[in-house]
Amino acid sequence: MQEINNDKQHLIVDRLGRRFRNLRLSLTAACNYACTYCVPDGKRLQAAAYELSGEEIVRATRLLIDTAGIDKVRITGGEPLLSPKFPATLQGIMDLGLSDVSLTTNAQLLPRYAESIIDSGMRRINVSLDTLDRERFREIARSGDLNTVLHGIELMQAGGLAVKINMVPMKHVNDDQILPLLEYSLERNIELRFIELMNMGHLQASPSYGREFFSMEEILDRIASRYTFSRTDAPFDSTAVRYDIAGKGVFGVIANESEPFCRNCTRLRLSSNGALYGCLSSARSSNIRELLALPDDQAKAALHEVLLGALADKQSENFQGEVTVMKFIGG
């Protein structure tokens, strides 16, 4: 582990040259879905005990900008739009002058918050959507309404935001939706991201992971049955491998098993109750709630030590899986 000077900051860098640049910020652990790959029993997730206030979240973000050099934030959950502090927290984050602020949502509440999101100046969002079939939608999400999601996407695009869709293809569950969702996305200038099913949470002990896992090779074979595509550029720390369909658009595959992205990962995650995680493959965390009450200089010194441990938790090569689940700490 080493430090590099960057104007006002002493940035922590590990032996692979990685540092934290991207913050995943969970507003709440609560979710209005109960997706089959996220929870085993169909019960919706509830808010965590003692979740951070909006003011604490904004201060934590500012401290991480100053201490870690964070320049990108994605607001996540749970489902972030369930949190009553969403509008004020969003504006507080937008006021910090970051290079990029985005949102990951299941879009069920997007129509309600469309005006706030558009007026905030946010430029892009990610929508989780696994099927265009209404019955299948209810079977996977175990809640919600597909038409509402599609309407929310329309509102975001009409407001000038770039939209990406995240799909988790599962064998014999929704793999037949790969081409319909890709066609839908290409027609609307939306970048679709296919995410390999992740071996974490309840899936680690479940035979359904092996039955339902749909690999990057299988995804690409399915797409190749209709389209010709070629690999294209992606940001150096992107989790997605991107492909271009000439004259039509781009799609990506986040292949945590088939083509791991750990070597270039720059992500840091803050849970809704103040736990800071350096890696999805590790359940280790440090709760920073108490240091948020300290004066800036003391808070930054304490946070520096926390960040050293968080960066050391990162895997060097492959995602290993954990009992920790992204539903708690942000995707």
Q: What pLDDT digit, counting tens, does each position of 156-211 carry?
A: 999 999 999 999 999 999 999 999 999 999 999 999 999 999 876 666 666 777 78
Rounded Cα distance, 40 and 280, in Å: 19
Rounded Cα distance, 327 and 201, in Å: 9
Q: Residue 239 — very low, low, confident or very high, per pLDDT cuts 50/70/90? A: confident
Determine how many CB atoms are found less than 10 A away from the CB of residue 11: 16
218, two tokens? 């299988």
If one looks up domain 2-164+264-329 in CATH, what number appears? 3.20.20.70
Q: CA-CA distances (angstroms) from residue 314 to 63, 150, 260, 311, 317? A: 21, 36, 13, 6, 9
Task: Output the pTM of the full model.
Answer: 0.90
Q: CA-CA distances (angstroms) from residue 158 to 87, 153, 229, 249? A: 20, 9, 28, 19
Give the mean pLDDT of 264-269.
84
Displacement of CA 331 from its chain's centroid (Å): 3
Residue 219 scores a pLDDT above 50: yes
Who wins on pLDDT, 130 or 212?
130
Rounded Cα distance, 164 and 104, in Å: 9
Cis amide linkage into residue 201, ω under 30° from 0: no
Rounded Cα distance, 239 and 262, in Å: 8
Give the mean pLDDT of 259-288.
85
Rounded Cα distance, 315 and 164, in Å: 27
Average pLDDT, the chain: 88
Q: What is the DSSP string of 268-293?
A: EEE-TTSEEES-TT----EE-TGGGG
Residue 322 scores a pLDDT above 70: no
Q: What percent of the chain has pLDDT over 90?
A: 67
Rounded Cα distance, 62 and 249, in Å: 36
Supply the DSSP symbol for 205: G
Who wins on pLDDT, 49 or 105?
105
The pLDDT assigned to 108 comes to 97
Is 122:161 a contact under the CB 8 Å cutoff? Answer: yes
Give the mean pLDDT of 279-305.
91
| N- to C-terminal Cα separation, the chain | 26
Rounded Cα distance, 103 and 61, in Å: 15
